[in-house]
Chain A
């Protein structure tokens, strides 16, 4: 289970952008979280991915409640959740070749030896040609870079995926392709998914169920 309980979070004291949000994902379940832009759903996605410390509330991943966030999150929890953001350019170190970008989580967890094989397999899975792996972010399109970011999110084989507006910048075909990659991965591994977005047509087609922001946040 991935459980967010009564989360209040923000960037300034006394000005929370998320208030009293709660949601539960059963193992292997996919939930599409819908909300207008600026409603705080990206912040909640960051909390779910253990990348942002909430002011209040708890995050529980497969029975373990997170005691720290960002670099203080215990490694075993952090690696249980993979995350993909809306803007690949903000999420990718511009100096890194795509090959290293995809392998980064392996290196960060001391599993460098697995990198070559894992990257080759994932590149094929996300549709990234071998020639592209030696390029840097500015040498590829947004769609290609997002494919690399998805591969990076999958490289540790997380049990949960958080996709925050993963396809908002992408054309229809790349969107369908990346959603296909996520679903194939989930079918293989039984991973659960929290997909945050603003497009009801997309999220209803993609996820087991959808919830609206208003339904998961507390009364103001």
Chain B
């Protein structure tokens, strides 16, 4: 940990969805983590575990039936959970938090070229034209064009492809275009939501290496949400494992993937399921977030569960929430 204020300080974040009939779905419960400037935290878990809901909560993109609790504070003290939509839209999304989306090809507008996407983002976020504007419209236009080209270059997006449309790009180039867009606002925090889904291994490596370069070296923090443990291994300083809406283990990445390995039985099971390890699935299925059991949510699948596990929720202690870790 550095002594600088964390790039993001999440405390007790909970998200509940109100459902018809007075029911609740507890999508995220009491999540806490801190992200130091220049560091990367990978939030891993299976689909439906709440990790994407957590990301949406940070960006203020939850649907109307969501209730949130807790806090998620940026270095200047702004609490993302308390901020209104106007503040988030005007000052946070793209400016203080850059978003690297899942499936960039779907995120980019199909009828516009990459150049046009980048220039629009520059006009909206970077204002390079303020001084140039004084020298006339033409100078302003050129300043935008130059800034867009610089943004492309930063993300290693080839200038020769700037006038192409999203569908004319390979998966790797589409990902770079999305990264270039995410970097334009020069946000100190990047949030990458499943940035490697559907990419082949080589491209996964390149994408995460590039993300890494844009963060550690540039002093930016990166929160990466992923189900891809290999990608997390390659990029993360810290791994947080989510299960049934809770962070059940937070660990330095080298200890988690190497020795001594994960401490929470779910996290152990997840690693053991990898084809390069035992390739054995965790038996059973996660509980419904709308009908969580009273004790540990993993108890029904856990080889170490006992009576206490079934009745008493394990509180996180030194990075792991398990009665028997």
> A residues near B, CB below 8 A?
35-38, 86, 127, 129, 140-144, 165, 168-177, 179-180, 198-202, 204-206
Contact = CB atoms under 8 A, between A and B. Distances in A.
B201 A173 contact: no
Contact of B227 (A37, A86, A165, A170): A170
**Residue of A129, A177, A206 most packed against chain B (CB within 10 A):** A177
B201 A38 contact: no
Contacts, number: 90
Nearest to A147: B285
Given A129-B285, A176-B281, A180-B281, A199 B198 contact: no
Given A36-B202, A38-B171, A143-B48, A206 B275 contact: yes
Nearest to B202: A36
A198 B201 contact: yes
A205 B275 contact: yes
Interface string B235-276: 000000000000000000000000000000000011101111
B139 to A, nearest CB: 40
B156 interface: no
Interface of B: 45-48, 170-172, 197-203, 227, 229, 269-271, 273-276, 279-282, 284-285
A37 B48 contact: no
Given A36-B203, A86-B198, A199-B201, A174 B46 contact: yes
A201 B275 CA distance: 6
Nearest to B289: A141
A146 to B, nearest CB: 9
B285 to A, nearest CB: 6
Nearest to B194: A169
Given A174-B46, A176-B281, A168 B273 contact: no
**Residue of B46, B271, B275, B284 most packed against chain A (CB within 10 A):** B275
A145 to B, nearest CB: 9
Given A36-B200, A37-B199, A173-B273, 17 more contacts: A36-B203, A37-B171, A37-B198, A37-B200, A37-B203, A38-B170, A141-B47, A142-B47, A168-B198, A171-B46, A176-B275, A180-B281, A198-B199, A201-B274, A201-B276, A205-B279, A206-B275
B282 A169 contact: no
A38 B281 CA distance: 29
Contacts of A171: 45-47, 227, 270, 273
Contacts of A204: 275
B198 A172 contact: no
A173 B282 contact: yes
30 contacts: A36-B202, A37-B203, A127-B284, A141-B47, A141-B48, A142-B47, A142-B48, A144-B285, A169-B47, A169-B197, A169-B227, A170-B227, A171-B45, A171-B46, A171-B47, A172-B229, A172-B273, A172-B274, A173-B46, A173-B269, A173-B273, A173-B281, A176-B274, A176-B281, A177-B273, A179-B279, A198-B201, A200-B201, A201-B275, A202-B275
- List of 7 A-B pairs having minimum Cβ-Cβ separation, nearest first: A141-B48, A198-B200, A177-B281, A171-B46, A176-B281, A172-B273, A205-B275
Nearest to A174: B46
Contacts of A180: 281
Nearest to B274: A172
A170 B281 CA distance: 12
A171 B45 CA distance: 7
B47 A143 contact: yes
Contacts of A205: 275-276, 279
A38 B227 CA distance: 22
Contacts of A144: 48, 285
A175 B279 CA distance: 9
Contacts of A170: 46-47, 227
Contacts of A142: 47-48
Nearest to B200: A198
B225 to A, nearest CB: 12
A142 B286 CA distance: 13
A165 B285 contact: no
B47 A172 contact: no
A169 B281 CA distance: 16
A154 to B, nearest CB: 17
